Amino acid sequence: MTETKRRKRKKKKSAPQFTYVQVDTRAPEGTVLPKPKFSPLGAQPGQPGDRSAFGFEIHTRLDGKHGRTGVIHTPHGDIQTPCFIPVATQATMKAVTREQMEDNGAQAMLANAFHLYERPGEAVMNAAGGLNEFMNWDKPTFTDSGGFQVMSLGQGFKKTLAMDVEGMKSDDVIADGKERLAFVDEDGVSFKSPLNGGMHRFSAEISMRVQHNIGADIMFAFDELTTLMNTRRYQEQAVERTYRWAQRCIAEHKRLTEERVGKPYQALFGVVQGANYEDLRRLAASQIGSLDFDGFGIGGAIEKRIMGEICSWICDELPENKPRHVLGIAAVDDIFAGVENGGDTFDCVAPARTARNGAVFTKDGRWNIKRAAYKFDFSPIEEDCDCYTCRNYTRAYVNHLLRAGEMTGATLATIHNERFFIHLLEQIRESMDGGYFAEFRDAYLARFYANGSRG
């Protein structure tokens, strides 16, 4: 055995030594609380949130497929599905205002429970009146459970869920140059804060408490997200652990709903894991689908070539009368595959993150607007795009701003990319209701990928 392997083995056996950070969920004494601006459905003084304010109805079904159009009813309004949900990680879309997202046609936004727990903290969110009041957004909201950050902190892969894993199966996998910052056990997860180094604890019950204090219309049960590199045995264990955590989430969600009177009902979605294994995905879907959830999340690392198959396996087992959210997917072909095989809503950070680096999406593919070829190009990013950026600015101007490091460049590119995906799902919904989905899909994908786009 080499000296390097001896050091690695010794490091694995070492238990993390950190001081846990205690979280106070109360506002400081004397805090003057803001007056509510919005009046969500199902919120009555002295009463638990009315669950009937949340619901789902199906409009059009695709022949022979799980795909459908419909509407999700929430306390803060309706979501026409299928729909793209932009990610407002810190209760804001990076570089873009709430008004600009409304102009873009966003029906809802998804915030990150883990990051809002870190800052400004659940006490601030609760005192503000919840996520909608805090960010001045009078439309539906989602929060995730923190499960993604468990994988990210534990294994260092950041936002990479699709990966080449041939010959790489290990339950101690860690990205090159990264430190393991999260440690999973049966009760929950201990993690080292990337902000201040303090050791925190997330469990099913804590995730429910945090998300109730944040107050989104739709939230997700705490789950264990694995990578495609984990062994089959560990994937089996993670599926069973996620099921046990899901049962605990439901129990705590019901308790908190009864306790938090005067608040609108928050829908709870269970998350289906199981990596690329058909039997595990079906087992997980049947387990999670048997519980009293309001809807479901299709989660986990997914190999791109079988994206549609995985969604189909899962939707075979899930109740048909509840909505399904596909977590973290925004490649154009994956969107079509997800919709066709049962996905109702989709979220991903990729459109905004790539925009800040100059990558823009158009019907003719994804390309980088920072290239020198666009310095003298005075046409819009896309000729027939109705977004604010394309109505008012040129490729040359956006090219200049991004190359100069001006923040407005990120704003204009992000507006365009978010509108691209919002509009794409609008068009898909219209094609499904109009009975020409297959023709629209084939023509759109042929044009988008004609030049080898990575989008």
pLDDT by 10s per residue, the chain, length 455: 555 544 444 444 444 555 566 677 889 999 999 999 999 999 999 999 999 999 999 999 999 999 999 999 999 999 999 999 999 999 999 999 999 999 999 999 999 999 999 999 999 999 999 999 999 999 999 999 876 665 566 454 444 333 344 444 555 555 566 666 778 889 988 887 877 888 888 899 999 999 999 999 999 999 988 878 888 999 999 999 999 999 999 999 999 999 999 999 999 999 999 999 999 999 999 999 999 999 999 998 788 899 999 999 999 999 999 999 999 998 999 999 999 999 999 999 999 999 999 999 999 999 999 999 999 999 999 999 999 999 999 999 999 999 999 999 999 999 999 999 999 999 999 999 999 999 999 999 999 999 887 77
Q: Which residue has the tokens 């009864």?
A: 258
How many angstroms separate the CA atoms of 278 and 304, rounded? 15
pLDDT value of position 181: 72
How many angstroms separate the CA atoms of 177 and 167, rounded? 20
pLDDT value of position 184: 84
> Could you tell me where in the chain the CATH 3.20.20.105 domains are found?
55-348
Residue 242 tokens read as 């996620």
Binding residues for Zn(2+): 385, 387, 390, 416
pLDDT value of position 148: 65
Binding residues for substrate: 144-148, 223, 273, 300
Inter-residue contact 378 to 395 (CB < 8 Å):
yes
pLDDT value of position 168: 47
Using CA atoms of 130, 131, 137, 141 in order, give the dihedral in degrees to the nearest 10.
-120
Give every CB contact of residue 379 below 8 A, 6+ residues apart in sequence: 394, 395
How many angstroms separate the CA atoms of 426 and 410, rounded? 24
Q: Considering the entire predicted model, what is its pTM?
A: 0.91
Q: Which residue has the tokens 């709870």?
A: 268
Give every CB contact of residue 59 below 8 A, 6+ residues apart in sequence: 68, 69, 70, 71, 433
Give every CB contact of residue 368 below 8 A, 6+ residues apart in sequence: 357, 358, 359, 360
pLDDT value of position 160: 39
Is residue 33 exposed (0-12), middle (13-18) or buried (19+ Cβ within 10 Å)? exposed
pLDDT value of position 44: 96
Give every CB contact of residue 140 below 8 A, 6+ residues apart in sequence: 72, 74, 76, 77, 78, 79, 107, 108, 217, 218
pLDDT value of position 19: 58
How many angstroms separate the CA atoms of 59 and 80, rounded? 10
Task: Assign a CATH topology to domain 55-348.
Answer: TIM Barrel (3.20.20)
Binding residues: 144-148, 223, 273, 300, 385, 387, 390, 416
Residue 137 tokens read as 């957004």
Q: Which residue has the tokens 């408490």?
A: 209
Residues with active-site annotation: 144, 347
How many angstroms separate the CA atoms of 327 and 428, rounded? 18
pLDDT value of position 219: 98
